[in-house]
């Protein structure tokens, strides 16, 4: 191969790398712009990494608006459970609670997730 061909290939690879980098930097994944399958996977990956104490606002910034949400007051405390779709069950076009992972917040701080979140929200009255 001549030096000219090698040079053009190197320029092409460099341009491709620069374009790919620009896309990932300037157009990050946004849950609201994903189709339901991608969003479901995105939610599962990020929920699996969550730690107690993260705020309600941080979750909304990370995952977007919940698919389902409920809240109630118990004395001075606010309890909110937000459901994010993480596993598909029925092809009915409707997201139900059994297709979601619940996140329980007490006074806007994450205190439980999964089955424990649902149990605590249901049992506190």
| Collapsed DSSP state (helix, strand, coil) of residue 22 | helix
Res. 28 pLDDT band, cuts 50 70 90:
low
Q: The pTM is what?
A: 0.73
Tell me: the pLDDT tens digits for 31-82?
A: 777 888 888 899 999 999 999 999 999 999 999 999 999 999 999 999 999 9
Q: How far apart are CA 39 and CA 62, in angstroms?
A: 12
Question: Residue 90 phi/psi, 5° resolution?
Answer: -120, 135
Res. 29 pLDDT band, cuts 50 70 90:
low
> 96 CB contacts (<8 Å, ≥6 apart)?
89, 90
Token duo for residue 39: 């969003």
Hey, where are the domains in the chain? 1-33, 34-123
Neighbour-count burial for 84-103, b at 16+ CB within 10 Å, e otherwise: bbbeeeeeeeebeeebbbbb
Statement: 34-123 belongs to CATH 3.40.50.300: no
């Amino acid at each position: 191969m001549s030096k000219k061909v090698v040079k053009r290939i190197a320029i092409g690879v460099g341009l491709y790398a620069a374009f790919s980098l620009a896309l990932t930097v300037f157009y990050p994944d946004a849950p609201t712009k994903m189709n339901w399958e991608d969003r479901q996977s995105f939610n599962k990956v990020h929920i699996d990494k969550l730690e107690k104490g993260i705020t309600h606002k941080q979750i909304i910034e990370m995952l977007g608006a919940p698919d389902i949400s409920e809240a109630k007051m118990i004395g001075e405390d606010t309890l909110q459970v937000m459901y994010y779709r993480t596993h598909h069950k029925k092809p009915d076009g409707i997201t139900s609670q059994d297709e979601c992972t619940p996140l329980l917040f007490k006074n806007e701080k994450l205190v439980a997730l999964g089955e424990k979140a649902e149990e605590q929200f249901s049992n506190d009255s």
